[in-house]
Structure 1
Amino acid sequence: MIASPLPRAIPATETALGGDRRPDLLFVNPPSPDGDTWIRCQHRAGQRAPDGMVWPQTALAQLAALFPDREVAILDAGARRASWQQFSMELESRPPRWYITHLAGPTLSGDLLGVALAKQAGAITVAFGPAASPAARELLQQCPALDYVVCGEPELTLQELVDTVDRCESAPVSPGTGAGESPSRCSAPPLARIRGLAWRSGGEPKVNAPRPLIPSLDDLPLPRHDLLPLAAYRGPSIQAPAAMVVTGRGCPGRCSFCLKHVTYG
């Protein structure tokens, strides 16, 4: 049940990060690697958008809704047609504590460039999506700027990761203990218990046991559509602002050529 009307979207998106405050968590759709419009969200990740279509970032809005008590923002550089220079300046001007982003195969080099820029700005970096889940170990080996990979459905794993790191950083440090090469003061045991997480211990990638699928999508909060540049989105058949409502996930098929089941089962 919605207790009060959602905030109007347009004022919330006049600036990408919503004012001068540094976001605690920044959910990111990075710039296009070639000036074209790419889809990184949900089961069409990795596809070029049809002419005139700008795909709504519903997955990022869903993740943002899991953190109602934090300063969260969504930076959809693709919808804003932002250049890499503009993107880098946004990160430098209001560096986030957490940088959470999609990874898609055809845009992977650009996606990881965004991760590197965020790491330079001092962020803890997290990736998810169909290019991240099956290659988590390899990504952590080859991309030092990437701190964590969330495998499979991202919501509950990301929520547990952020809560765990917060608890570690607020706890006193005992003499003779440390976090190894973790980007926070979190040591191995708490991170090893987070299902669906890939991380590093002593510089070596670790991939935890998978997390079961969410039994009911009704248990998730309503996506934060108010954080999205809704006026910029266009559907595939209408040239008017568009949004999406996700009523189901996954697919009973396991077609080897399809990405739909890689992240969402």
Structure 2
Amino acid sequence: MLEKYGFDVTFTDAPARDYNLEMVCRMGEELSPGLVVVDTSTPSIDNDLDVCKKIRQVLPHAFIVLVGTHVSALPEETLTRCDAVNAVARREYEFTILALAQTLKEARDGQVPDLSGILGLSYRTMDTEACAGKGADAKPIMQNTDRPFIEKLDDLPWVSPVYKKHLRIADYFNPNARFPMVTLMTSRGCPFRCRFCVYPQTLTGRKFRFRSVENVIEELKYVKKAFPDLKSVFFEDDTLSASKKRCAALSAAMIKEKITLAWTTNSRVDPDYETLN
């Protein structure tokens, strides 16, 4: 999304590339970014915050924002735990991060950016007036209104060019998919209420939203050309089979367009035989 709107982006998956913290910090020093976005999860949150502290040491003026399931569920707790972090972009964050980047870019040198209008953002205020009378170290945490879920998923850029430009598909595998593979998403949200499933509860919500079949097919054609050695696709939808009609339409279109890649996806345990077939 940021590249689509003209921002210069470096995207690094440090664990996949076997980069240690020293290498990440060295990269930060060399690039000197104004905005650092860190993906998080509950199992990794302690390490994620330690990384942010180290990044802050080498990039004292960078704006550090966290995204992901854990921080969406516990934004205030996360910001309270780590003063190296400036903000949390809650739930679906594509347009929140874009708005943040645009706001930071437009702020004049030395000017405190006004973040109050960015939907979906929780942040530690940098306004000295807001801190007045609350102690020298007080930085109140502000919680902006939630950003509505994205209804038109076709408006989002494809993820596969990100693989092509920034990542190596050889670094990724899934035990339920043939290697090498790519991970795509054709829909978001899930109407079911399984307690164990973290994504609808924290990121994507309960409403099932989906890309058009035509949009998905065009991306599948792209990945076949971009990655000649590709063997399979993992559709990382919350529940691809949530709509029986759309599932059938997508499958029929893949057959019609001769998309012969093997694919796997997330589903429930109770879809009927017609849907599975």
Paired letter, 2:182:
A
What's the TM-score, normalizing by structure 1?
0.65
Q: Which amino acid aligns with 2:140?
A: E
Select the residue among 203, 216, 221 that pairs with 1:263. 203
Q: Does 1:143 align with 2:67?
A: no
Secondary structure class of the residue paired with 1:191: coil
Q: Give the match for residue 118 of structure 2.
A: 194
Given that residues 16 and 172 in structure 2 are in contact (C-alpha distance below 8 angstroms), is that contact kept between their aligned partners in structure 1? Answer: yes
Q: What is the RMSD of the two structures over their aligned residues, measured on CA atoms?
A: 1.9
- Superposition pairs of residues 28-177 of structure 1, within 5 angstroms: 63-67=1-5, 69-122=6-59, 123-169=62-108
Partner AA of 2:191 in structure 1 = P
Structure 2 counterpart of 1:227, from 155, 162, 166: 166
Counterpart of 2:230?
Answer: none
> Aligned partners of 1:144 and 1:244: how far apart in 2?
34
Partner of 2:263: none
Asked if 2 retains the 8 angstrom alpha-carbon contact of 1:66 and 1:159, the reply is no
Q: Deviations over 1:109-149 (max 9, x none)?
A: 11111211222222210101110111111111221000010
Please list every run of 5 or more consecutive structure 2 residues that lacks an aligned counterpart in the other structure: 126-130, 132-138, 206-277
Taking the aligned partners of 2:33 and 2:105, their CA distance within structure 1 comes to: 15
Q: Is there any run of 5+ residues in structure 1 with no aligned partner, and where?
A: 1-62, 174-178, 180-184
Residue in 2 that maps onto 1:206? 142
Does the C-alpha gap of structure 1 residues 158 and 251 become closer, same or farther in structure 2, counting only changes over 3 Å?
A: same
Select the structure with the greater relative contact order (CA < 8 A; seq sep ≥ 6): 1
Partner SS state of residue 125, structure 1: strand
Give secondary structure in 1 for the equivalent of 2:122: strand
Matches within 5 A, 1:13-32: none
Secondary structure of 1:149's counterpart equals strand
Alpha-carbon contact 2:2-2:98 (below 8 Å) kept:
no
CA deviations on 1:173-202 (whole Å, 9 max, x unpaired) are: 7xxxxx6xxxxx21xxx3111110001233
Structure number with higher helix proportion: 2
Measured in 1, the distance between the counterparts of 2:22 and 2:16 equals: 16
Aligned partner of residue 54 in structure 2, secondary structure: helix
Q: Secondary structure at the match of 2:64?
A: strand
| Matched-pair contact (CA < 8 Å) for 1:235–1:241 | no
Alignment of 1:244-263 (within 5 A): 244-261=183-200, 262-263=202-203
Counterpart secondary structure, 1:101: strand
Give 2:166's aligned amino acid: L
Q: 1:51 aligns to what?
A: none
Count of aligned pairs between the two proteins: 187
Assess, with a 3 A threshold, how the Cα gap between structure 1 residues 236 and 66 changes in structure 2: closer, same or farther.
farther
Report the residue type matching 2:197 in the other structure.
Answer: C
In structure 2, distance between residues paired with 1:232 and 1:196: 32
Aligned-pair CA distance for 1:66: 4.3
Larger Rg: 2
* Residue type of the alignment partner of 1:206: M
Identity %: 29
